[in-house]
Amino acid sequence: MFNLGIIVEVRTPNMWEKRVQYLKGVGPQRARLLARLGISTVGDLLFHVPRRHEDRTRCRPLKAYQDGELATAEGEVAAVQQTRARSGITVLRAALRGRWGLFYAVWFNQPYLTRVLKAGSRLTVTGKVRHGPYAPEIQVTEFETGEGEEGLNSGRIVPIYPLTDKLSQRILRGIVFQALSEAAALPEILPPRMLEEYGLRERHGVLAALHFPESMAEAERARRRLVFEELFLLQLAILRRRQKVVAQEKSHRYSVDGVKVTALQKSLPFALTREQEKAWREISADMTNARPMQRLLQGDVGAGKTVVAALALAKAAENGLQAALMAPTEILAEQHYLSLKSLLRSADIKAALLTGGLKKERRLLTLEAIVSGEVEVVVGTHALIQEGVVFRRLGLTVVDEQHRFGVRQRDLLRAKGDCPDVLIMTATPIPRTLALTLYGDLDLTVIGALPPGRKPVKTVWLKPAEKARLYRLVQSEIKKGRQAYFVCPLIEESEQLSAQAAIKLAEELKPVFPGFNVGLLHGRMKLEEREQVMNAFRDNKINILVATTVVEVGVDVPNATLMAVFDADRFGLAQLHQLRGRVGRSDQASYCVLVAGRTTPEAAARIKALTSLGDGFALAEEDLRLRGPGEFFGTRQSGIPELRIADLLRDHDLLEVTRHEAHRFLMEDPEFTSPFGCRLKAEIAFRFEAPTDSIG
Ligand code: ADP
Ligand code: MG
């Protein structure tokens, strides 16, 4: 990789290889503390971005502050005194000798601090100022102790880092400063044109400016440069990955839509909506193309993605190819299988189910039918990507609910065929800015509207004490011939316990609704039992279905009009939206009842968002706001590397810009052979190691 003379300068020494414990002042113990912050190399350390900066250049005497104003002051501890107020609160008061005389620092209810605050030690405290009768005092919200490089901690703009116990701001500042002076100068990796066009500062000295800037503006400029760089590298990696796939040529060719696609279309009990039509046109065109399709089909819960996928499956079969549809759970795979089987049969296409739950004989028979090509469409779970599964001629892979799978699993499925077309479906309403990053290697088709006649699902929050209201509502719905779901939460990832909770709830409900059938569905049941229950529910022989979150995705029974979720505060926003999506699938009015007692403010905010917002995209934006992008649907799972500097929410404007630039760069230097290309390639390898794997 480094055979070109030009990058020898990058090679030695490399901060992404040098481990922090070999820095002066960092022994094994501090190295362990740093590891808790995710810092193991000098690179990690220097990319540990300050949470904020504090301007300590213009220190004023505390006298000059108003009561209640925020101030920072430094001094030496002269005395410490602890008292207990009548209310029971402990008050810790330290007298400090500072540059402008004596002042007090005050802490409430932190008695253990007496161990830290020794007479003679130096302290920097931040907090609100109060002018007492003797001397000004600071009610401390943040403070720093410990030794540390003189001149790093005051009289300048000072970085404030995300910290862990036992590691003080002062110590970390010292270590970072040390690392800065030891790290080799960073060679420029962005071409001059880009720096000029986007007003970015050069790379040399950027890390020093990020940590110890001369001005607040300099800190922001440094951050912006590094954000640009990080997103540009990420986009390059993603686009390169896509290029490699799309550069291939399919060994198979499709003809124009023929008998099977037409037969399937004719057999549908409804006409496709305009958006479904458009989605199908795009997919069909991709399939006809010589390059393999890489498309994401996005549509809110209930938008009708499955029929569109079915048309693609039929098109593959029609051209003598096999197709595979992979779903994240057994229940969902079964659901898809059952509904697709009958749909595909009308076009004379043979489908099979392949999941881990199959009995051995049936599994072997299915595998044989797949190898021989007798089965044209295989619906399944992860079981599809196992080694023993061999297709005769796999031409199309469809992945449902992509957010549950990683990039790797997607790739494994693709590897079962010779350059198959790839269609990925998701109901996760990803905000556009994030979609560009999460799915930057895919083309995007959106089904933006629900089928006609759908009414918004009326969503309410009830307290457990108001259960009677819920039961009355259920009663009136099932009397009208409609059906209801009751969902109890998955308990600590234990299927066993969640199953028990569901069983208990079903027993409780039976006497409440005499004369009606209460069914039960959970992950511990056998495949045949689950099939029976789902069939009975679909045929309206079960009025109330008590289930664990196994019904979360994909279940499609339009006659169900009520979804009750117990302990709703324990679910995430996206999950609740998925559950709610099980109802509102016909022209009947539907209800979603979220049952939760007193709960955390965050959970309350989620439930409230759901009661006021119906649209998945609005909810996704809200989710992003509430949780931050790091948490968003588990970005690690979706295969996007962790970003150190960029904040997808705050820096979304740069997402599109860097994508555009990455495109442009790859057009000129697709193999990364130019001097900048070489450096970029090396940088990507160091910064994003595994997730996109080798990009070369
Ligand atoms: P999702 O996009 O969540 O996978 P589905 O494909 O399960 O949605 O479709 C939701 C429901 O809408 C299904 O009952 C399906 O039969 C129905 N449906 C799909 N397309 C249409 C349409 N064009 N008109 C009426 N109903 C439709
Ligand atoms: Mg679906």
Complete DSSP assignment for 102-169: EEEEEEES-GGGGGT--TT-EEEEEEEEEE-SSSEEEEEEEEE-S---TTTSSSSEEEE----TT--H
pLDDT at residue 304 is higher than 60: yes
Inside any domain, residue 168:
no
Least confident residue range of 418-432, 448-462, 585-599: 418-432
* Pair (545, 606) in one structural domain: yes
Q: What is the number of structural domains in the chain?
A: 4
What is the best residue among 272, 307, 402, 455 to mutate for testing ligand 1's pocket, by most ligand atoms within 8 Å of CB? 307
Structural domain containing residue 673: 225-248+654-692
* Pair (283, 361) in one structural domain: yes
Whole-angstrom distance between the N-terminal and C-terminal Cα of the chain?
Answer: 9
Whether 184 contacts 13, CB under 8 Å: yes
Percentage of the chain exceeding pLDDT 90: 45
Of the residues 131, 155, 179, the one at which a domain ends: 155
Residue where the block lists tokens 């990683």: 406
| Amino acid of residue 95 | A
Q: What share of the chain is helix, strand, coil (3-state, %, to 5)?
A: 45, 20, 40
Work out which ligand 1 atom sits closest to the CA atom of 308.
6
* Pair (273, 236) in one structural domain: no
Which pLDDT tens digit goes with each residue over 579-593? 898 999 888 999 999
* Pair (660, 563) in one structural domain: no
| 302 C-alpha to ligand 1 centroid (Å) | 6
Inside any domain, residue 404:
yes
Considering only CA atoms, give the Rg of the chain.
30
* Pair (423, 547) in one structural domain: no
| 303 C-alpha to ligand 1 centroid (Å) | 6
Which pLDDT tens digit goes with each residue over 65-75? 999 988 888 88
- Note the pLDDT of residue 233: 93
What is the best residue among 301, 306, 553, 583 to mutate for testing ligand 1's pocket, by most ligand atoms within 8 Å of CB? 306
**Listed residues: CB within 5 A of ion ligand 2:** 554
* Pair (433, 475) in one structural domain: no
- Name every residue whose Cβ is closer than 8 Å to that of residue 562 and which is 6 or more positions away in sequence: 473, 474, 477, 482, 483, 484, 485, 583, 590, 591, 592, 593
How far from chain centre, in Å, is Cα 300?
Answer: 17
| 613 C-alpha to ligand 2 centroid (Å) | 21
pLDDT at residue 394 is higher than 90: yes
- Note the pLDDT of residue 640: 56
pLDDT at residue 482 is higher than 90: yes
Contacts of 88-95 with CB under 8 Å at 24 or more apart are 92/117, 93/137, 94/123, 95/135
* Pair (286, 240) in one structural domain: no
Which pLDDT tens digit goes with each residue over 652-661? 788 889 989 9
The ligand placed nearest to the CA atom of residue 327 is 2
How large is the average pLDDT for residues 375-384? 95
pLDDT at residue 694 is higher than 50: no
User: Residue 188 carries which DSSP code?
Assistant: P
Q: How many CA atoms lie within 13 A of 551 on its CB side?
A: 34
3-state secondary structure of 545: strand
* Pair (504, 430) in one structural domain: no
* Pair (601, 532) in one structural domain: yes
User: Residue 381 carries which DSSP code?
Assistant: S
How large is the average pLDDT for residues 270-286? 95
Burial readout 243-265 (b: 16 or more C-beta within 10 A, e: otherwise): eebbeeebebebeebeebbebbb
Inside any domain, residue 491:
yes
Question: Whose C-alpha lies nearest to ligand 1, atom 5?
Answer: 304
Which pLDDT tens digit goes with each residue over 487-533? 988 665 566 777 778 888 999 999 999 999 999 988 788 877 888 89
308: domain CATH number? 3.40.50.300
Inside any domain, residue 151:
yes
Name the strand (E) or helix (H) holding 377: strand 377-380
Supply the DSSP string of 182-220, one letter for each residue. HSPPPPP-S-HHHHHHTTPPPSTTHHHHHHS-SSHHHHH
Whole-angstrom distance, CA of residue 423 vs CA of residue 297: 7
How far from chain centre, in Å, is Cα 399?
Answer: 18
* Pair (479, 530) in one structural domain: yes
Whole-angstrom distance, CA of residue 169 vs CA of residue 147: 10
Q: Tell me if 45 CB under 6 Å of ligand 1.
A: no
* Pair (263, 410) in one structural domain: yes
Closest CA to 627 of 568, 569, 572, 567: 572
| Amino acid of residue 76 | E
- Note the pLDDT of residue 38: 86
Closest CA to 93 of 76, 115, 108: 108
What is the best residue among 447, 556, 579 to mutate for testing ligand 1's pocket, by most ligand atoms within 8 Å of CB? 556
The 10 Å Cβ neighbour count of residue 154 is 19
Whether 239 contacts 663, CB under 8 Å: yes
pLDDT at residue 404 is higher than 60: yes
Q: Tell me if 302 CB under 6 Å of ligand 1.
A: yes
Of the residues 583, 613, 643, the one at which a domain ends: 613
Q: Tell me if 558 CB under 6 Å of ligand 1.
A: yes
Q: pTM for this structure?
A: 0.70
Whole-angstrom distance, CA of residue 420 vs CA of residue 436: 23
Inside any domain, residue 220:
no
Closest CA to 308 of 268, 359, 365: 268
pLDDT at residue 432 is higher than 70: no
Of the residues 124, 155, 186, the one at which a domain ends: 155
Closest CA to 645 of 51, 20, 35, 18: 51
* Pair (379, 268) in one structural domain: yes
The 10 Å Cβ neighbour count of residue 152 is 18
| 553 C-alpha to ligand 2 centroid (Å) | 7
